[in-house]
């Protein structure tokens, strides 16, 4: 049933079908398991680019362990914090239906887990399958604390595409020779942009294009393939601050999944993946390769329009048809990637995504909307106030900030979800986040003279089951840039997008309400807009933020406060007894 109206069962026939469907689903329900993992957060010594340092890890591993569950399973992750820093974990993209206390963003759904303390994240995976990931959600700790979360279909349920020979999680990351915590704290102190990373990585490995890399197994990710076989790469962009182009030399990829929802398969030679996003792609190995070319380069490089500096390097991994000496990785021809600022290539790729919208996986796109919001997203500034060495290093001697509707999110000192549960809002949050910008201007044209932001911990309260539309509009303040916006607790449909300023009278008519892609993270195009819809059927407090960590640190975030519904299973349950205290 493509283009889903919400369905209600009124007739006896319909009720019979509904009951039958539940009974038929029983074997899978019975097969649902509890999967338990233990995360010991510890410091471990690693070397990359000839720099040896101690980094926060899960169980001493970098990247962290792979979690594998089946759709319908319960997942319990017991976290012990053994480092000298606060930490929390977020299960990026998991809907957390009725389990808002397990979502993980610090000061939103929980207080941080303090050094020496523990917390068990306990939740079920409902109605999602594919690739998601987990990462720390405190300051910039996710730089090294991340790993894949693989959701297999229920036992006996096939993929809606031919089963690949092998599945390989491939996490794209960003390596800093410096301590990322020192990088962001220095930036916040001076008001300037943070130092950029030194390399991009594939499953933690930078590959042969960087200093000190040999191309061997210790610094280069290698995927060994058999001619003619199909491999599914479970791609995750875990980079802190960079959207990435991705390509494999001489191979075409087929995209089959995005953010744990199936899409209509499409072919692409270059992918674009934003921080927070996931993509399952099929790579079919050539039936035969020349003995002179038994290996191919996989490359990632940044996509950005920033006016500041960025890590303009290219990282390389290897697809090899036969064992290769380490030195071979260095000379491989790179796949052609678009220029770093090729916004047209990005728009073109983004336009290829459609929900699978099949009988088994219908796209339940909300057709009617209860509440509409228009949010500007972008950069801004604060007055210098406390100068470092007499000056601030942001634009014109100010401090960089970022905002939604010119409200820069002020991180509270206690958890918003706890304040909500106790109905003690005073001094913690205000329920007056603006539904539209208070000052209107030509958002993608000449910026206003005053680019200072306001500050606050302001939320939008929503009644249970409200159908929401949000238009996210980029601004040109301090430079138009693409912003990967991530919504916690929900998948949304991307019903429209365009360049320039959103124009309700023309653009709304062009929405795709049939098979729009469903995601948890979407990039607001550079100097453009994107429209999303979701149904607020999950009570709790849900942060929506830019997944470039530097912008999150500068306040590009807001939160939705979704109130309880009337039925018992529509209410936020009490917090678990081990929930950390602030």
Residue ranges that bind ligand C2O, judged by CB under 6 A: 90, 92, 105, 135, 137, 276, 486, 488, 543, 545, 547
Q: Rounded to the nearest whole angstrom, what is the least distance from the CB of residue 411 to ligand C2O in the complex?
A: 12
Q: Rounded to the nearest whole angstrom, what is the least distance from the CB of residue 488 to ligand C2O in the complex?
A: 6
Question: How many CB atoms lie under 10 A from the CB of residue 34?
Answer: 11
Q: Which is nearer to ligand C2O, 453 or 559 (CB)?
A: 559
Angle at 521 between CA 179 and CA 159, to 5 degrees: 110
DSSP 8-state secondary structure symbol assigned to residue 198:
S
Q: Rounded to the nearest whole angstrom, what is the least distance from the CB of residue 189 to ligand C2O in the complex?
A: 24
Chain Cα centroid distance, residue 347: 18
Sequence-separated (6 or more) residues with CB below 8 Å from residue 449: none
Q: Rounded to the nearest whole angstrom, what is the least distance from the CB of residue 304 to ligand C2O in the complex?
A: 19
Q: Rounded to the nearest whole angstrom, what is the least distance from the CB of residue 215 to ligand C2O in the complex?
A: 31
Helices (H), 191-329: none
E strand or H helix at 172, and its extent?
strand 166-175
Q: Which is nearer to ligand C2O, 533 or 551 (CB)?
A: 551
Position closest to ligand C2O via CB = 92
Q: Rounded to the nearest whole angstrom, what is the least distance from the CB of residue 239 to ligand C2O in the complex?
A: 11
Q: Which is nearer to ligand C2O, 215 or 276 (CB)?
A: 276
Q: Which is nearer to ligand C2O, 297 or 517 (CB)?
A: 517
Sequence-separated (6 or more) residues with CB below 8 Å from residue 323: 224
CA of 515: how far to CAs of 172, 257, 282, 394, in Å?
Answer: 28, 14, 21, 43
Chain Cα centroid distance, residue 246: 17
Backbone conformation region of residue 278, classed left if phi is above 0, alpha if psi is from -120 to 50, else beta:
beta
Q: What is the 3-state secondary structure (H, E, C) of 326-365?
A: HHHHHHCCCCCCCCCCCHHHHHHHHCCCCECCCCCCCCCC
Q: What 3-state class would DSSP assign to 24?
A: helix
> Sign of dihedral through CA atoms 288, 290, 295, 301?
negative
Q: Which is nearer to ligand C2O, 125 or 285 (CB)?
A: 125
Q: Rounded to the nearest whole angstrom, what is the least distance from the CB of residue 276 to ligand C2O in the complex?
A: 5
Q: Which is nearer to ligand C2O, 151 or 297 (CB)?
A: 151
Q: Which is nearer to ligand C2O, 222 or 545 (CB)?
A: 545
Q: What is the 3-state secondary structure (H, E, C) of 416-464?
A: HHHHHHCCCCCCCCECCCCCCCCCCCCCCCCCCCCCECEEECEEEEECC
Q: Rounded to the nearest whole angstrom, what is the least distance from the CB of residue 300 to ligand C2O in the complex?
A: 19
Q: Which is nearer to ligand C2O, 200 or 409 (CB)?
A: 409
């Amino acid at each position: 049933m493509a283009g889903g109206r919400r369905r209600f069962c009124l007739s006896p026939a319909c009720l019979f079908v509904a009951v039958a469907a539940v009974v038929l689903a029983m074997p899978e329900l019975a097969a649902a398991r509890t999967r338990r993992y233990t995360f010991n957060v510890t410091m471990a010594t690693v070397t990359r680019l000839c720099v040896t340092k101690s980094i926060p890890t899960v169980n001493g591993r970098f990247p962290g362990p792979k979690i594998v569950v089946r759709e319908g399973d319960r997942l319990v992750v017991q976290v012990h914090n053994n480092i000298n820093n606060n930490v929390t974990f977020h299960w990026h993209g998991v809907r957390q239906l009725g389990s808002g206390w397990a979502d993980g963003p610090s000061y939103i759904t929980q207080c941080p887990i303090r050094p020496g303390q523990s917390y068990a994240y306990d939740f079920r995976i409902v109605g999602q399958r594919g690739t998601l990931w987990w990462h720390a959600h405190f300051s910039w700790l996710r730089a090294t604390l991340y790993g894949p979360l693989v959701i297999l279909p229920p036992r006996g349920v096939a993929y809606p595409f031919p089963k690949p020979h092998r599945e390989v999680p491939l996490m794209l990351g960003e390596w800093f020779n410096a301590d990322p915590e020192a990088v962001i704290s220095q930036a916040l102190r001076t008001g300037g942009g943070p130092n950029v990373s030194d390399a991009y990585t594939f499953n933690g490995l930078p590959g042969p294009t960087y200093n000190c890399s040999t191309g061997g197994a210790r610094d280069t990710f290698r995927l060994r393939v058999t001619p003619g076989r199909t491999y599914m790469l479970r791609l995750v962009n875990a980079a802190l601050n960079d959207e990435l182009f991705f390509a494999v030399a001489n191979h075409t990829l087929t995209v089959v999944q995005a953010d744990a929802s199936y899409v209509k398969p499409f072919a692409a030679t270059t992918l674009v993946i934003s921080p927070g996003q996931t993509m399952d792609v099929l790579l079919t190995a050539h039936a035969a390769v020349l003995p002179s070319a038994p290996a191919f380069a996989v490359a990632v490089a940044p996509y950005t329009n920033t006016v500041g500096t960025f890590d303009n390097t290219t990282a390389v991994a290897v697809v090899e048809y036969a064992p290769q000496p380490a030195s071979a990785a260095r000379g491989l021809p790179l796949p052609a990637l678009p220029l770093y600022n090729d916004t047209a290539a990005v728009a073109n790729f983004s336009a290829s995504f459609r929900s699978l919208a099949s009988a088994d996986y219908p796209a339940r796109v909300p057709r009617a909307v209860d509440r509409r919001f228009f949010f500007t997203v972008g950069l801004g500034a604060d007055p210098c106030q406390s100068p470092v060495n007499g000056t601030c290093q942001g634009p014109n001697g100010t401090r960089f900030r970022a905002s939604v509707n010119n409200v820069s999110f002020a991180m509270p000192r206690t958890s918003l979800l706890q304040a909500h549960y106790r109905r003690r809002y005073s001094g913690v949050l205000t329920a007056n986040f603006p539904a539209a910008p208070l000052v209107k201007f030509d958002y993608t044209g000449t910026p206003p003279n005053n680019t200072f932001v306001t500050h606050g911990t302001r939320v939008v309260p929503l009644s249970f089951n409200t159908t929401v539309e949000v238009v996210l509009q980029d601004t040109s303040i301090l430079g138009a840039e693409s912003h990967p916006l991530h919504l916690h607790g929900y998948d949304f449909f991307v019903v429209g997008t365009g360049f320039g300023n959103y124009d309700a009278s023309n653009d709304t008519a062009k929405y795709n309400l049939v098979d729009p892609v469903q995601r948890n993270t979407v990039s607001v195009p550079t100097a453009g807009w994107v429209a999303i819809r979701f149904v607020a059927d999950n009570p709790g407090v849900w942060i929506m933020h830019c997944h470039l960590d530097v912008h999150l640190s500068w306040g590009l975030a807001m939160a939705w406060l979704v109130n309880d519904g009337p039925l018992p299973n529509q209410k936020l349950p009490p917090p678990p007894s081990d929930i950390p205290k602030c």
